[in-house]
Amino acid sequence: MKALVVTGGTQVDIDDVRTITNFSGGRFGVTIANALARERVNVTLLCSEDAEKAYGSEFCFFGLLDTFRTYEELALQLKTLLSLNTYDFIFMPAAVSDYAPVKQIGKIASTDEVTLTLKKLPKILPTLREICGVETFIVGFKLLVGVTDSHLCKVAHNQNQKGRLNMTFANDLQKLRDNQGQHPGFFCTIEGGSIPVFGGHADVASKLVTFAMARQNVHWSASQQEEVSLGENTGEMLEFALSTHLLNTTAGNVSSRSGEGFWITPRGVEKSSLTKEDLVPVQVDLEKRIVSHQGAKASIDSPVHARLYQDFPELQKLFHFHEGFVVDPDGKTEFPYPCGTSEEAQEAVTAISSVPFTVELADHGYLIGLDDLSRVEKEWSEAQDALKEHWRAIDQEYRLINATLYPIFTRGASIVGVVSSVSEGHSVFLMPAARGLGYGRLIVDRFKTMKLSVIVHDECHAIDFYLKRGFTRIRRVGSTSILKYVS
């Protein structure tokens, strides 16, 4: 296999003797290149002149070594390398200049004040996919300073989407300074996963290479337009998913078995406004890895749904979502393979023992499989009614106007309660039969992970429950307390 690693900082010239640059020394990129070489990958290292001077003695054997100084040199050499070679991987930890002045010839006199006007330089990273095609696994990098983990990962995920990257390694300079000798960060995947990683430079570089190689070495299915004849499209699974408010972005999908295929949500569209007429009829040849669909392009997860329908004949409907509330699922997958791959499907099959089920997908949300939707619809209706009756009893019925209600799922795709979201925060209501079984503690753990504020009414007598688990009261609103978790 072949990999290209681009590392180090670029410079932009002010005049013939002065330059603007950044702090990047290129060390982490060199460490990545060495980790790749240890995996017997043929590595081309394109690094800054400063990186070669500082870390040249640490280089393993590379297939090729080129250096650059300026932004222009990097852009030209990268274009040349990509025109002459095909790479399985591209790692781009280089700190590429974002701005540049108009260079002045000669040397600006040092006796006067100088005002520089900086122009925006074209971004190089987003151009790579068009040049390399879909076969190259492209890893971007994102460094911010003094931000929250959620903001850092959000920016990294946006970079993935805009550049059509396979993943981004994101970290915070402040945390690097606070953890000398360590290189903490997040593996941010294209499907929205944010996997924390911690360790020294060499350890994290090795983990990054191992992770990227596992996600690159997968099997995809091809899509083709073809007439697909299925049974009736009722749209009932889509209606249920929308009623839970868990299908409100471009992420997630639902499907319903029908004859020799299934109806599934289309790919890459906002799901909240879909109707049953938007569902796509699909048939999948798992052996040949071909997805036949009619009309809009089917969800990328179609091969996974097809594998589950094949292996579990009693399975009738599937629901995949990201941001919901699931406690004590039936199973968990171990590795976050890219969505829609044969490897992801195999992991899901391994995690399932029977239908109905709730499975936690590693860093990729949840998957619910049903044999009977009517049972879950009944549980959802009963849970909402019980919550509303509780609110009336404590004189909080006004919250019904603005609250968004989410089901709490557990084993067997059973609904055991409701999370209600209002402007002040989130609150938990468990059905009477589900209390005392540890579900409350598991939901609180989920709140901590999602960094959600909690609202607790005095008459619920739950304030101590949250305080004992690390939450702090930040203010009072009438007869309720607003709490936040302090890590």
* Partners of 13 in the β-ladder: 19
Taking CA atoms, 11 is separated from 15, 65, 315, 366, 393, in Å, by 12, 19, 58, 45, 67
Q: Each residue's pLDDT tens digit in the chain (487 positions)?
A: 999 999 999 999 999 999 999 988 899 999 999 999 999 999 999 999 999 998 888 888 677 889 999 999 999 999 999 999 999 999 999 999 999 999 989 998 887 788 889 999 999 999 999 999 999 999 999 999 999 999 999 999 999 999 999 999 999 999 999 888 899 999 999 999 999 999 999 999 999 999 999 999 999 999 999 999 999 888 999 999 999 999 988 899 999 999 999 999 999 899 999 999 999 999 999 999 999 999 999 999 999 999 999 999 999 999 999 989 999 999 999 999 999 999 999 999 999 999 999 999 999 999 999 999 999 999 999 999 999 999 888 887 777 778 999 999 999 999 999 999 988 889 999 999 999 999 999 999 988 888 889 998 888 888 899 999 999 999 988 888 999 998 7
Residue matched to tokens 């989410």: 406
The Cα 181–Cα 4 span in angstroms is: 25
Residues 6+ apart with CB under 8 A from 180: none
Domains of the chain plus CATH, in order, are 2-216 (3.40.50.10300), 222-371 (3.40.225.10), 375-485 (3.40.630.30)
In order, the DSSP letters of 156-198 are HHHHHHHHT-SEEEEEEHHHHHHSTT---EEEEETTS-EEEE-
Summarize pLDDT for 27-47 with one digit per residue, the tens: 999 999 999 999 999 999 999
The Cα 481–Cα 456 span in angstroms is: 5
In angstroms, the first-to-last Cα distance of the chain is 42
Taking CA atoms, 396 is separated from 74, 317, 399, 413, in Å, by 62, 36, 6, 29
Q: Running DSSP on this structure, what letter comes out for residue 366?
A: E
Alpha helices in 19-59 (DSSP H): 27-38, 49-55
**Which stretches of 77-116 are assigned E, i.e. beta strand?**
89-91, 99-101
Q: How far is CA 325 from the centre of its chain?
A: 17
Taking CA atoms, 286 is separated from 289, 296, 346, in Å, by 5, 20, 12
The Cα 278–Cα 450 span in angstroms is: 31
Single out the residue of 331, 325, 305 nearest to residue 316, CA to CA: 305
Summarize pLDDT for 436-446 with one digit per residue, the tens: 999 999 999 98
The Cα 366–Cα 484 span in angstroms is: 25
Pairing type for strands 89-91 and 137-144 reads: parallel
Single out the residue of 205, 306, 308, 324 nearest to residue 261, CA to CA: 306
Please work out, in degrees rounded to the nearest 5, the angle formed at the alpha carbon of residue 404 by the alpha carbons of 398 and 405.
105
Residue matched to tokens 């295929």: 261
**What's the sign of the alpha-carbon dihedral 380, 381, 385, 391?**
positive
